[in-house]
């Protein structure tokens, strides 16, 4: 009795309408059939013996998604053909759907730096590498600034009236005309390529002992170069002459001439300096000529205050001084 019942159930199952098996209408599209098939597979994949049901779903799916087979099936089912339907082909078992495996990205190739510091610190922790990088950067910046000051360009401040009105000092200093002292840039390397020229404004170190005795002051001064090696400098009745030839001095303003008068012979390798404010300048008239080794550089630019910006020399030092203006202006040195 059980065997007959099981055979009848198989017959009923094999003759079930494919559209009914998938749960779609007869005019369903291929996409709708496909969606219905996978929906039914997910539902019937769970169970003790899902194989028979899945085979039935597979047969219905393959028949209805193949246009020729679907047309033949529709004709057969509509015409109630006497010939029995072909036995279902044995299909491989359908495996339940599984989640796709996650895609693991490939590791990026290691970056090899050409920086020697990066290679030396590669094994250190990241905070240590950052700290070392900052230390090296700051130390390098300080070294560059110091090197520029020592060999290229150096800033100076004008504290006295000895060069008025060409270079201002700040009131209430005696003879000063401005509210702020001028700050200037000196080209320290120009005299490695040529000799100092008459009329140039120059920064130099005074002969310490003689300057202390004559002016009670010494150190770094800024004056105008008047006498070259071998010259005879004469300053009589407020008129300057070099080797007997009068010198025009448009930079000497009325009321600024005067001071010590006399005649001086400039020795070999020596240079004679005077201030533009002759009446108040303690210069080579008091403490003598300056040796070549004491000359620091030529003043080529006034950079502060803004309304006093001016160039005092034309040449290679001017362009270089302008480029290096910002980093060099932070270092100042008082001059007399």
Active site residues: 162, 223
d(CA 208, CA 220): 10
CA angle 25, 27, 30 (to 5 degrees): 95
Residue pair 190/311 in contact (Cβ under 8 Å)? The answer is no
Q: Which residues contact 313 (CB under 8 A, 6 or more apart)?
A: 187, 200, 201, 298, 299, 300, 301
Residue pair 262/283 in contact (Cβ under 8 Å)? The answer is no
One DSSP character per residue, 259-297 reads S--EEEEPPTTEEEEE-SSGGG--SHHHH--EEGGGEEE
The torsion angles phi and psi of 303, rounded to 5 degrees, stand at: -115, -5
């Amino acid at each position: 009795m059980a065997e007959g019942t099981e055979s009848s159930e198989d017959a009923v199952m094999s003759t079930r309408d494919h559209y009914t098996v998938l749960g779609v209408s007869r005019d369903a599209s291929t996409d709708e059939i496909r969606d219905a098939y996978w929906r039914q597979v997910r539902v019937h994949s769970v169970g003790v013996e899902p194989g028979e049901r899945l085979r039935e779903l597979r047969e219905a799916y393959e028949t209805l998604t193949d246009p020729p087979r679907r047309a033949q099936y529709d004709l057969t089912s509509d015409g109630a053909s006497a010939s029995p339907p072909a036995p279902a082909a044995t299909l491989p078992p359908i495996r339940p759907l599984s989640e796709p495996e996650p895609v693991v990205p490939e590791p990026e190739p290691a970056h090899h730096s050409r920086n020697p510091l990066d290679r030396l610190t590669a094994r250190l922790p990241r905070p240590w590498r950052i700290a070392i990088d900052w230390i090296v950067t700051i130390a390098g910046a300080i070294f560059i600034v110091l090197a520029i000051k020592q060999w290229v360009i150096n800033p100076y401040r004008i504290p006295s009236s000895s060069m008025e009105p060409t270079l201002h000092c700040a009131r209430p200093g005696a003879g000063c005309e401005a509210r702020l002292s001028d700050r200037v840039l000196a080209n320290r390397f120009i005299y490695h390529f040529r000799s100092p020229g008459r009329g140039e404004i120059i920064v130099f170190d005074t002969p310490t002992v003689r300057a202390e005795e004559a002016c009670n002051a010494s150190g770094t001064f800024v004056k105008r170069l008047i006498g070259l090696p071998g010259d005879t400098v004469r300053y009589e009745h407020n008129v300057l002459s070099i080797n007997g030839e009068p010198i025009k001095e448009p930079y000497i303003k009325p009321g600024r001439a005067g001071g010590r008068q006399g005649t001086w012979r400039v020795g070999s390798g020596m240079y004679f300096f005077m201030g533009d404010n002759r009446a108040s300048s303690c210069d080579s008239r008091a403490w003598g000529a300056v040796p070549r080794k004491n000359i620091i550089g030529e003043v080529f630019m006034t950079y502060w205050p803004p309304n006093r910006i001016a160039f005092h020399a034309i040449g290679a030092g001017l362009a270089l001084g302008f480029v290096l203006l910002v980093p060099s202006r932070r270092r100042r040195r008082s001059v007399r």
